[in-house]
Structure 1
Amino acid sequence: MAGTNTINLSEYFLGGLGACGACLFTNPLEVVKTRMQLQGELRSRGSYSRHYRNVFHAFFTIGKVDGLRALQKGLIPGLWYQLFMNGVRLGTYKTLVNFGMTKNSEGEVSLPKSVAAGAFSGCVGAVFGSPFYLIKTHLQALADQRIAVGHQHQHSGMIQAFRGIISRRVSEDFGGVQLVPWQGSQWVCSPAVHIFKMQRHCRTVTGDQTTSETKVKRSKIFSPGSILIPLVASMVGGVAVVCCMTPFDVISTRLYNQGVDAKGRGLYYSGVADCFWKILNKEGPFGFYKGWSASWFRLAPHTVLSLVCWDQLRALHRSYKT
């Protein structure tokens, strides 16, 4: 029977497809978030033009100046990122569950082990998804000069972007071909980042109710089983998640989007610590919370849609096999 002490490859693929389904709807918020996180990069408050005042103004500005299609910039690499990142992440986590590595000696689900398994799964997924996240960030940041923020990488699409990055390094050494597409992955793969992300995921897939979801259910505002329960709960619980995660997300976006010199070294930041101190010194503590509103609005629908799509795909897969 699949699902007990086995590695089920379908879990990897179905998990990735579920995340792709969510990405189709939430990618515009990713575009907005990326632009807002890059706005006023390494400049003190009040010394730059704020093209994007808030998430709603950003939507309007991008649609007006860049066109409505610009709200789906980076969708193709975004889908590939979701397929690899979340496919490997969810598949690896499910495999660890199948092998009983999230349970204690008494056979009960262990939250510390589940969180550790989630953090490990997230790191593995990030390694595979990092090159696509890099290109996604570049494309989402690319804008009309009137509203451009951050470094502007002149890519015409995902394939051209990969070719351009690799061709710039292939003349120097083979190692460079591997390093540049994974620019910034050392931060995305940080276990500290994924412990925050995956603790929420672990609670969901093991059936544990978060405090916010329990309160929403007890309120009896929605009927039992309503999809609005996890959606509203994610919005409520997402406040704490976004408060913890946004600084890490801002640093990640900055590292991925910065330009590089002929040797592949970052033009703005030499690494994670350097990026942190430069943001703190130039932009102040609030610099770490740029784009927080877009992150919050994206969190609930992406989480719920990913898991709903994943569950539906798994149900279809099981019915097909029988």
Structure 2
Amino acid sequence: MTASGVSNPVDVIKVRQQLKTQTPGVKANAFWKVGYQMARTEGIRSLGNGFAASMMREASYSGLRLGTYEFFKDRVYELSKGSLSRDSLTLKVCGATIAASIGSFVANPADLVKVRMQAHYPAGKPYRHTLDCLISVWREGAHKQGVSSPFAGGIRSLYRGVEATTIRGIVLSVSQICSYDHVKHLIKKRGLMEEGLKLHLTASLFAGLFCSITSNPIDVVKVRVMNDKERKFKGVFDCVRSIIVKEGPLAFYKGFGMCWARLGTHTIVSFLVFERVRLLFGISPL
């Protein structure tokens, strides 16, 4: 939550960039232009859009994926009956995949509301606050024609884009948590650094870059599907096809600069705070 609070303005600009459907090669989508346009037309406070939803998302998503990572690592190690070593990359990937799958699924409604709150609306913001947005998303599904059950329709609406959210969560967590854990282990094993702030900062820098490269394409699709109120896309794969046909493959890396700035900052702050909290509670470092 601390990391998300620090990086929220960057996250808003990243979402705005990813929602733009421009002709490939057009340079009007630069992060500084998007940020300046927002501050000029919507006010500087617009960079804080979706803050409450972002806090809700992090409490559930990151709380679960970081909080249960080592638990699932231990369970997979026990199930392997010694065939996997404690330091193996395979064990780390399995632990991160299970933890991220659970966290992503639970947090999808908050993630969807965050995207809606951060998007640009030329005719004016349609939501008064986070709860109003959550209710509006529910009603989109509950009042949809052909829905057999309003309750089931509302749930489906809140879980729109859950496939992309879960895939992104797995890719992000595997590339972020595992790379941090593995890089940190290798640096310590070779005697380059000892446990401490410098080691945590170095490992988190590598993790931030790696997870930005791997997760940006999925993030673009997730944002597009979640903000699709008119239901232009039939689903995640239809969105992927549409982006490739209309905008080209490079569109999957729209907003990469801000994605790296956001995820890099988020990763560094997350792990520095995470390691410090562990220390304060007498828990050994990751």
Structure 1: which amino acid aligns with 2:275?
D
Residue of structure 2 in register with 1:250 after alignment: 220
Q: Kindly tell me: are residues 259 and 186 of structure 1, through their superposed partners in 2, closer, same or farther at Cα, counting changes over 3 Å?
A: same
**Match of residue 164 from structure 2:** 187
Identity, % of aligned positions: 23
Residue matched to 2:6: 25
1:172-211 deviations in whole A, cap 9, x for unaligned? Answer: 5121121111110112112x76145324302434673468
Cα distance, 1:133 vs structure 2: 0.5
Question: Does the aligned pair in 1 maintain the 2:18–2:220 contact within 8 Å?
Answer: yes
User: Which of 12, 18, 24 lines up with 1:45 in the alignment?
Assistant: 24
Aligned equivalents of 2:243 and 2:3: distance in 1? 31
Q: Structure 1 segments of 4 or more deviating over 6 A?
A: none
Q: Which runs of 5+ in 1 are unaligned?
A: 1-19, 146-151, 261-265
1:36 counterpart residue number: 17
1:27-106 to 2 correspondences below 5 Å: 27-40=8-21, 43-45=22-24, 50=28, 53-99=29-75, 101=77, 105=82
Cα distance in 1 for residues equivalent to 2:93 and 2:206: 21
User: Who is 1:5 aligned against?
Assistant: none
Note the C-alpha offset of 1:311.
Answer: 2.5
Matched, 1:128 2:106: yes
Offset of residue 68 of structure 1? 1.0
Secondary structure in 2 aligned to 1:208? helix
> Shift in Å at residue 168 of structure 1?
4.0
State yes or no: 1:157 paired with 2:129: yes
Q: Deviations over 1:10-61 (max 9, x none)?
A: xxxxxxxxxx011110011110100000112xx53378x93xx322232222
- From 155, 160, 167, the counterpart of 2:139: 167
* 8 Å Cα contact 1:184-1:256 kept in structure 2: yes
SS of residue in 1 equivalent to 2:138: helix
Q: Give the deviation of 1:131 after TM superposition.
A: 0.3
Kept after mapping to 2: 8 A contact 1:75/1:136: yes
Asked if the contact 2:221/2:236 (under 8 Å) is kept, the reply is: yes
Q: Which amino acid aligns with 2:17?
A: M
- Alpha-carbon shift at residue 240 of structure 1 (Å): 4.3
State the shift of 1:271 in Å: 1.4
User: Taking structure 1 as reference, are residues 168 and 252 closer, same or farther at Cα in structure 2, changes over 3 Å only?
Assistant: closer
Q: For residue 158 of structure 1, what is the amino acid of its counterpart?
A: T
Kindly state the Cα deviation for residue 249 of structure 1 after the two structures are TM-superposed. 0.9
Give the drift of 1:297.
Answer: 1.0
Counting matched residue pairs gives 276
- C-alpha RMSD of matched pairs (Å): 3.2
Q: Which residue of 2 aligns with 1:269?
A: 233
**3-state DSSP class of the match of 2:223?**
helix
Q: TM-score, normalised by structure 2?
A: 0.83
Is 1:141 paired with 2:113? Answer: no
